[in-house]
Amino acid sequence: MIQGVQIDLISSERLENLTSLEKIRMILEKVIDGNVVVLEKGLTPDEQSLLIETTMREIKPDGFAGIEMETYSSESETHQKSGGLFGGLFGKKEHTSGRMTVIGPANQMKTLKKDKNLISTWVSSR
Amino acid sequence: MSFFIRTKKRFKKIIGRLFKKKQMRIGIYGPPNAGKTTLSNRIVRDWTGDAVGPVSEIPHETRRARRKDGVTISDENGNAVTIDIVDTPGVTTKIDYKEFLEYGIESEEAVVRAREATEGVAEAMHWLREDIEGVIYMLDSTQDPFMQVNIMLIGIIESRGLPVIIVANKNDLPDASSTRIKSAFPQHPVISISGLEGNNVEELYEKMIDFFG
């Protein structure tokens, strides 16, 4: 059998049909199995917070050691700045999901390079 | 007690609550080893003479959020702010107990430490979602500020609409660069300090009065 790493590219349509908890569960189940997940559309800040918290609860000695995650800066940062007078006055918050995101097991994935428009990662098989 | 007195008391309480200046709960957040406990200790020591917790070069020395209530910071002009300081465990997306072995910690203790650290990170995230009203985000200014965990955490803090001051810590070290941090987060005030040496902490106190007051 060919040795390697399974990479799951998940479309934004599939993600949109899931609740936050279902998204987190799906991502973590795949990553704990040693797969790398690429999300066409990233997670919201609340989902990212939940992902960190749930990841911590899944870490086991000599087993799952956590996740490596990389994403481009969220488009919402640009939107926030252009919130205008009323956006500023009324604390307008516009938080779209992040952009393409890659998540993998921390002990198999390493980020080699990241800039505004490029994420370069190295993945080893288990 | 008559109905009139009871109603009067209740009304007074509601008015009191409405106009009382709220004491903000400020969380000190950041990645492991950024100097969060060193700064918490300095703030608390400078203004109450007390301390918050022990510091160490081993990552995840702080594995439980620690709170110090009612810390009043003031300036020469009589401006002041009273806050509750919450020193939180360093946030990360990965923890391997083997990291601790490199610091001479025995395997069994390292496993316990890693488990406590994971609980601490989860707790820190929970505090951020539920109980924190303002943030001091600590960064080691000798390190790359564009680390994913910083981008994520600042995004989470912004999404909750919390006021945030970014502290570029360790400015006493030769490789320190607060410019990198300022360019990474231009939308927030950045104060360059050394929590250990006390360099420029007065500017941070001024900003805290201005921001959290």
- Interchain proximity B151–A106, CB inside 8 Å: no
Asked, for residue B133, whether it belongs to a domain, the answer is yes
pLDDT over 60 at B70, yes or no:
yes
Mean pLDDT within A88-94:
45
pLDDT over 60 at A83, yes or no:
no
Rounded to 10 deg, the angle between the B201-212 and B36-48 helix axes is 80
Exposure of A72 in the CB half-sphere (CA atoms within 13 A): 13
Which of B129, B141, B149, B146 lies closest to B27, judged by CA? B129
End-to-end Cα spacing for chain B = 39
- Interchain proximity A107–B96, CB inside 8 Å: yes
ipTM of the complex: 0.81
Split into its structural domains, chain B has a count of 1
- Domain boundaries along the sequence of chain A: 7-123
Alpha-carbon span B145 to B70, nearest angstrom = 31
Two tokens, residue A92: 């307008």
pTM over 0.90: no
Asked, for residue B132, whether it belongs to a domain, the answer is yes
Asked, for residue B74, whether it belongs to a domain, the answer is yes
- A-chain residues near B145 (CB < 8 A): none
The domain that holds B123 is classified in CATH as 3.40.50.300
- Interchain proximity B94–A52, CB inside 8 Å: no
pLDDT over 50 at A115, yes or no:
yes
Two tokens, residue B87: 């020193």
Exposure of B83 in the CB half-sphere (CA atoms within 13 A): 28
Mean pLDDT within B40-66:
86
The parent domain of residue B54 ranges over 21-212
- Interchain proximity A80–B151, CB inside 8 Å: no
Q: What is the pLDDT of residues B74-92, one digit of tens each?
A: 999 999 999 999 999 999 9
Asked, for residue B49, whether it belongs to a domain, the answer is yes
Look up tokens 């993600």; give the residue.
A15
Q: What is the pLDDT of residues B112-169, one digit of tens each?
A: 999 999 999 999 999 999 899 999 999 999 998 988 899 999 999 999 999 999 999 9
- B-chain residues near A107 (CB < 8 A): 94, 96
Asked, for residue B160, whether it belongs to a domain, the answer is yes
Residues 6+ apart with CB under 8 A from B107: B97, B101
At residue B21 the predicted structure's pLDDT band, cuts being 50, 70 and 90, is low
Asked, for residue B56, whether it belongs to a domain, the answer is yes
Asked if B136 and B28 touch (Cβ cutoff 8 Å), the reply is: yes
The pLDDT score that the predictor gives to residue B138 is 97
- B-chain residues near A52 (CB < 8 A): 91, 93, 121-122, 125, 152
- Interchain proximity A106–B148, CB inside 8 Å: no
